[in-house]
Structure 1
Amino acid sequence: MNSPEENIVFASVQEPIRSDSRSENAEEKTKPKQPFFGFGIICSFTSTIMFTSSHLLAKMVTSVGAIELSGARCLVQFVFLLPYMTYNWFRHGVDIMHCRKTFLLLWIRGFLGLIASVMFYLCVERLPLGDAVTMLFSSIIFSYFFAFIILKERPTVLDIIFSIVIIAGVVLIAQPPFLFNSSLTYDSKRLYGTLFGALGACALGLVYVFIRKLGNRTHPTMNVFYFSFAGMVGSLTLTPLLGTFKLPCMHDVIYLLFVGLLSLSGQILVSNALKYEKTGTIMMIKSVQIVLGFIFQVTILKDFPSRLSIAGSCLVFISIIGIAVKKIFNEYSNRKTKNKRLNE
């Protein structure tokens, strides 16, 4: 989804919100010196533009379905990552296979990423670009839920409040007929698109949890590599079984190539940004994808959003900003407490 990914902190998408104090303290490690002032911010903002551009190109692909689209993206990423992974394997002794437990977690993470990616592209096919990008950010709700179930991390009251606001925003985007009982409002295509978006967000929330579970045992590129390989194999297996396999037209081949390249470049830039900037800062910048999604939708696709879609997206955007501000405040408070203890 990278990120939609699908997009993991490094593997396409944002880092899951950490609610426990141990995780907060872990982020207080000293950041390396930036090459120049604002380097991390520039990397993060550039990645945001790349991710949104990737979603736009995916929206413009018409000759293949979501599974082929996801498979093509994974193929491009795999081809470009393979030389780097091979070099690290032989030159630096980086273990690609790892132990059995880590190997299993990487494969589960890879196939969950494939599911999230396919669901997101199905959502993009049926919803306007701005709405689809907004649905992607609702994965935060599921990351809270699965982190509580699997990692035993309790969400705070503010986390729950922001999650409720995000759900309200998603409802405004979906416009279900039992709440908006009007023939002018009802649109089965929109409802299916929202359903696929919710399923993709759910899978992406699980991806975040598995990446957290992997922790520092693997290099960030390993997550992307396994996602790319699993996505490529899964897509090539599913399309013949479902009888949906078809080759893209030459026009779409270029789009598919850039979908993969932009997604991979965005992941690399996010990874670099996180070396120099706090997670809360990166989250705030990444949320600009929602705004860019609507700008691209209006200026390039000539598709003007409804008032309800704008209202729903605003609720999600405000909630993401609120979560990011909370994260920054927690980071500042932890740093202040730590410095106070050192001075005593």
Structure 2
Amino acid sequence: MTDRYRIAVLGASGYTGADLVRLALTHPRIEIVALAANAKAGQTMAQIWPHFAPYPNLPVLVKADSIDFAQIDAVFGCLPHAASAELLSTITGPRIIDLSADFRLKDAATYAAWYGGAHPAPALLAQAVYGLTEFARDALPAARIAACPGCYPTAVLLALLPLVAAHAISADNITVNALSGVSGAGRSLKEANLFPEVAEAVHPYGIGHHRHMPEMEQELSLRAGRDVRISFTPHLVPMNRGELVTCIVETQHGADYLREVLADAYTREPFVHLLPAGVAPATRMVRGSNHVVLNVFADRVPGRAIVIAAIDNLVKGSSGQAIQNFNLMFGLPETMGLEQAPLFP
């Protein structure tokens, strides 16, 4: 069909790649023409992911270097950091929607400090737009590369950016505790992710030095007009998907005013929803969807408030937001292919 955009998905054997394919299958303007997963080249999606059995016409997985990118309109990079930029830097022609961390940070030295090695393609950083969609609409239509935010930054920034930009909260003392389902750790075999290790347990990780911290601080600082540093502690919880962040902030205005700021920022947003006063966000409200729910609560400590947001880490926190960015890059309705209601229970 000539009215469809031809896409390739690199890293289709991972969780984000598989969810990208799942969403793209029902997108009326997308044609999936190439799926890459080097270690599983030659296999079908159904062999790797049984839930794709009803879709036998999906392309067979191939090695990325065998794809003719001249025939592709958009490439979705669902690869690990470093590997993503190294491969994508060799591709010319198609527009790129990258789901790794490689193009999120504007400074190559910051990337090297947090990701343990020099950036594989520093010359491309200037071409990348940070793709937190609700705050990137003006830049995405002309973007060569959309750098999709990490799952934690998506939830945290949607909760805090309007408040920081309005100077409604202090930029000096922000504490975030975050909970994520195990799919956020990827599909590779890791002892810490085995069922006996994660079931019936919650544990923190990346304490004081998680790689998503500079990404959040970069965007908060841009909105605040000054350097912002946050305290951030993620936790792994025994569920497959979902993410919830609890942000403790200082304010001179009170929780009701913070709710007004968020209501004003998001009242016309198709995917970001401020819940009624007193209703706590929960991951079950957004599971399987591109929606975000958030709310503000007064803290018993004077001068503090609590902002809570919930997302599906694989959809709004990854593949759904990637398609949202794709839609804007190609002049399509932003919600196209993302109209699925949350799955409950």
Between the two structures, name the one with larger relative contact order (CA 8 Å, sep ≥ 6): 1
Higher helix share: 1
**TM-score w.r.t. structure 1 length?**
0.26
**TM-score w.r.t. structure 2 length?**
0.25
